[in-house]
């Protein structure tokens, strides 16, 4: 999983590590996720394209970074009164 966050970045960066650990624990380590911080595999703002091309399997970032690809992405990240999980 590539991320747009620096390694061990409080909150967002550590959430990616926590997700990877939980997936491993939930699957008895049959599925393991290696987390790459911003810039380790690709530059942070190239994460979407790396995922789209198959260079990575997962990304962890804020979807509003990709608003130039679709204005709809804004509604999935931090828009007041935007879409919620329910």
| 40 phi/psi in degrees, rounded to 5 | -70, -40
Among 32-36, 48-52, 82-86, the range scoring the smallest mean pLDDT is: 82-86
**Helix and strand element counts for the chain (H, E):** 2, 2
* H or E element, residue 60: strand 59-60
Comparing 66 with 43, the larger pLDDT belongs to 43
* 8 A C-beta contact, residue 2 and residue 50: yes
Of all residues in the chain, what percent carry a pLDDT higher than 70? 90
22-33 pLDDT per residue, tens: 999 999 999 999
- Model confidence pTM above 0.85: no
């Amino acid at each position: 999983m590539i991320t747009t966050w620096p390694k061990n970045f409080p909150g967002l960066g550590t959430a990616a590590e926590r997700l990877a650990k939980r997936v491993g624990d939930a699957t008895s380590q049959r599925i393991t996720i290696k987390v790459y911080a911003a810039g380790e595999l690709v530059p942070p703002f190239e994460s979407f394209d790396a995922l789209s091309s198959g260079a990575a399997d997962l990304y962890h970032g804020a979807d509003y970074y990709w608003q130039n690809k679709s204005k709809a992405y804004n509604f999935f990240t931090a828009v007041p009164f935007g879409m919620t999980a329910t």
